[in-house]
Structure 1
Amino acid sequence: MSERQAQSVAFLARAGWDGAERRFLAGDASDRSYDRLTRRGAGGGVETAVLMDAPPGKGDDPAVFLQVAAHLLGLGLSAPRCLAQDLTNGFLLLEDFGDGVFARLISETPAREAPLYTAATDVVIALQSAPPMAGLPNLSAADWAEAGCFALDWYRKVALGDAGDRDGFYAALQDVMARYADGPRVMILRDYHAENLLWLPDRAGLARVGVLDFQLAQLGQPGYDLVSLLQDARREVSRETEAAMIRRFKDRTGADDGFDAAYAVLGAQRALRILGIFTRLCRVAGKPGYLRLMPRVWGQLQRNLTHPATAPLARLCQRLLPEPTPEILSRIGAP
């Protein structure tokens, strides 16, 4: 047994869950992992909980997770309640939302896409209509542009051997961000997509949408979480659903005519960043499974770059970024 495993066993013993059956539930792009615990309750029924293992010093702070969860719960939304915690060693014992992951439910019954995405869009609207949580990071257009440069720093550099015209790329991205996507801030969750959302049919209203993976919440643009939801790197959202949810968001928030440009710019920035992150995850973290998602992200990038607001950036992307062909993806995944 490793030292980390021993720490988790000790934590569960202190929490009163020693002896529970433990099964790996999920990992993600970070160093976090999740196990589902199952035990027989005092009344004879089955009880479950989820162990979050977030090793200290790896970038994700469980204390922030708890703070954001408390804010979401205060708004009547469904975030996992904490049953026990060891913040020093990076362990949380959380309420188990079950297996109703949006992505799985839609894969099994495609007709559920529109109603589930409607519920998820309404959660975004509710979150943004409330005052944001205090103390959230607030990135500038320059910060967002720097993050988008991951496409050159990782994706292009690994694929072609150099970062190309990074200064020109950064300037163009900063300019379109400042022009079209640097307005009033709202609270955004950032990783808001179908694998981080669970359907909780026994609850009512907005609480039927269980939300996970929100510890990187910050202040951002109103369209960002909508882009994250509708331009999902992990699954193809139908064009009809995307268009309907954009209309719903605009109608219910009173977004002005500039929203479509902001949506395209945010979508381009996010796709650029993801191309770089997926490359880094493959080369540094040894997670080549993300390579298969890159053609979808590339397609989303190309769609966003057709909007006139992104024209200067589009020209640079065409010149500097190679399409993720099988040859390019093989080169990225070679080591």
Structure 2
Amino acid sequence: MNERPAGLWPSPEREAAFHAWAQGLRQPAGLAWETLAPASADASFRRYLRVQGEGGSSFIVMDAPPALEDVRPFVHVAGLAQAAGLHVPRVLAADEGQGFLLLDDLGRELYIDALRDPARADALMRDALQALLRWQQGVPASTLPAFDEAVLREELALFPEWCVQREFGITWTARQQQAWQQLCDRLVASALAQPVVAVHRDWMPRNLMACPGRNPGLLDFQDAAAGPLTYDLASLLRDAFLSWDEAQELDWAVRWWQQARGTGLLGEAFEADFGEFWRALEWMGLQRHLRIMGIFCRLKQRDGKPRYTEDLPRFFGYATRVALRYAPLKPLLALLEPMSGQAVGRGFTF
């Protein structure tokens, strides 16, 4: 195997471990390891490398240091999703102990890039909605970890620690802390009242691939769990990096809801009332956005990745809009305003 340029691997030990694994692979034949090059990275400690094969084919190597990442959930969920007829990378070779996987390459065009073309956006989103329904119907939630109350509260706790305290240097009073806990209680109760399905947890345009004829390709599903029905739809419609006007969000949400009726997924309350479904989706989205604000600030403050906080204004906008709409969420407005810089007023519609 030819040596790669310096800097491709984080350490000589990691590079040696990879070479020892790669040299033992016999299938697929014709892998040109000298072409190995970075493909992408994410907010975790996983990295992705692309290697060329025979006939113009290419493959992806996942590099997940076992002390920091566990590839076994990825392998498990990939099998479940493939069995459900979803377009996911096949795991062609694996060394779970060392944290190396060889995967199909689903291409180079992310949904988030393709969606910026107005002529393609609606068809792409409809494909994503249909695939989401297939995921929720076909991936058995019983085989996944529980996305339960403890996890929901742990995620919400990221916001006051990393966004409020670390990023903005704000210390809440006892009254503000009480208001926050009451808000968390309401969001958690709403989430736990929903039907339980398989939840991808990051069903968003950065983790979907534009694959003509097989839209979308799914990535980054290793954190899948059994959790609230609306979580993934909220992730898709109110993305961390791409926003739509509310009329468009509602149009796509109604389309998904209409397709889901009669499948047994919705439960009695959501089956009968889109308004109740939409309220639950908005509250679920708020829980998720508060969590992501905490994560983005942690990436900056702890991990030295400041670029993620550039999107904080989008999240303050999402959160303010939802808190303005629902009277039980009113206490959040006063907590957000010192950070968001937005002058918020009264404006409840429910």
Q: Answer yes or no: same fold by TM over 0.5.
A: yes
Matched, 1:323 2:332: no
Give the distance between the partners of 2:195 and 2:235, measured in 1 at CA: 19
Structure 2 residue matching 1:31: 3-state secondary structure: coil
CA 1:82–1:142 in 2, change beyond 3 Å: closer, same or farther?
Answer: closer
Deviation at 1:32, TM superposition (A): 0.5
1:4 maps to a residue whose letter is R
The question of whether the paired residues in 1 share the 8 Å contact of 2:179 and 2:331 is answered with no
| Aligned counterpart in structure 1 of residue 307 of structure 2, from 273, 286, 289 | 289
Q: Deviations 1:194-243 (Å, cap 9, x if unpaired)?
A: 11111221x4xxx4311000000001111100111111111223434312
Give the distance between the partners of 2:152 and 2:337, measured in 1 at CA: 19
Deviation at 1:117, TM superposition (A): 0.7
The residue that corresponds to 1:260 in the other structure is 278
The question of whether the paired residues in 1 share the 8 Å contact of 2:197 and 2:228 is answered with yes
Matched, 1:87 2:86: no
Give the distance between the partners of 2:63 and 2:84, measured in 1 at CA: 26
CA 1:153–1:166 in 2, change beyond 3 Å: closer, same or farther?
Answer: farther
Give the distance between the partners of 2:181 and 2:56, measured in 1 at CA: 54
2:195 maps to a residue whose letter is P
1:313 maps to a residue whose letter is L
Deviation at 1:146, TM superposition (A): 3.3
The question of whether the paired residues in 1 share the 8 Å contact of 2:126 and 2:252 is answered with yes
The residue that corresponds to 1:149 in the other structure is 157
Structure 2 unaligned blocks of 5 or more: 1-10, 262-269, 342-350
The residue that corresponds to 1:70 in the other structure is 79
Give the distance between the partners of 1:23 and 1:51, measured in 2 at CA: 10
Task: Report the count of equivalent residues.
Answer: 314
The question of whether the paired residues in 2 share the 8 Å contact of 1:12 and 1:18 is answered with no
The question of whether the paired residues in 1 share the 8 Å contact of 2:95 and 2:101 is answered with yes
The question of whether the paired residues in 1 share the 8 Å contact of 2:237 and 2:249 is answered with yes
Give the distance between the partners of 1:182 and 1:7, measured in 2 at CA: 47
Deviation at 1:252, TM superposition (A): 1.4
Matched, 1:56 2:73: no
Equivalent residues in 2 for 1:72-151 (5 A)?
Answer: 72-107=81-116, 109-130=117-138, 132-141=140-149, 143-151=151-159
Matched, 1:34 2:48: yes
Q: Deviations 1:10-50 (Å, cap 9, x if unpaired)?
A: 222222546340111111110001011114x2xxx222100
The residue that corresponds to 2:257 in the other structure is 250
CA 1:186–1:231 in 2, change beyond 3 Å: closer, same or farther?
Answer: same
Give the distance between the partners of 1:240 and 1:248, measured in 2 at CA: 12
The question of whether the paired residues in 1 share the 8 Å contact of 2:66 and 2:97 is answered with yes
Give the distance between the partners of 2:75 and 2:47, measured in 1 at CA: 16
Q: CA RMSD in A?
A: 2.1
The residue that corresponds to 1:192 in the other structure is 203
Give the distance between the partners of 1:52 and 1:69, measured in 2 at CA: 13
Give the distance between the partners of 2:333 and 2:324, measured in 1 at CA: 12
Q: Give % identity.
A: 32
Give the distance between the partners of 1:221 and 1:103, measured in 2 at CA: 24
2:230 maps to a residue whose letter is G
Matched, 1:23 2:41: no
Structure 2 residue matching 1:208: 3-state secondary structure: coil
Give the distance between the partners of 1:118 and 1:284, measured in 2 at CA: 38
Give the distance between the partners of 2:182 and 2:52, measured in 1 at CA: 52
Q: Which runs of 4+ in 1 moved over 6 A?
A: none
Matched, 1:228 2:244: no
Deviation at 1:305, TM superposition (A): 1.7
Deviation at 1:149, TM superposition (A): 2.5
TM-score (norm 1): 0.87
1:283 maps to a residue whose letter is Q
Structure 2 residue matching 1:187: 3-state secondary structure: strand
The question of whether the paired residues in 2 share the 8 Å contact of 1:146 and 1:170 is answered with no
**Higher relative contact order structure (alpha carbons within 8 Å, sequence separation ≥ 6):** 1
Deviation at 1:169, TM superposition (A): 1.2
The question of whether the paired residues in 2 share the 8 Å contact of 1:181 and 1:266 is answered with no
The question of whether the paired residues in 1 share the 8 Å contact of 2:323 and 2:332 is answered with no
1:268 maps to a residue whose letter is L
2:143 maps to a residue whose letter is G
Deviation at 1:133, TM superposition (A): 4.2
CA 1:218–1:21 in 2, change beyond 3 Å: closer, same or farther?
Answer: same
1:47 maps to a residue whose letter is S
Give the distance between the partners of 1:180 and 1:261, measured in 2 at CA: 11
| Aligned counterpart in structure 2 of residue 213 of structure 1, from 173, 198, 220 | 220
Give the distance between the partners of 2:191 and 2:60, measured in 1 at CA: 41
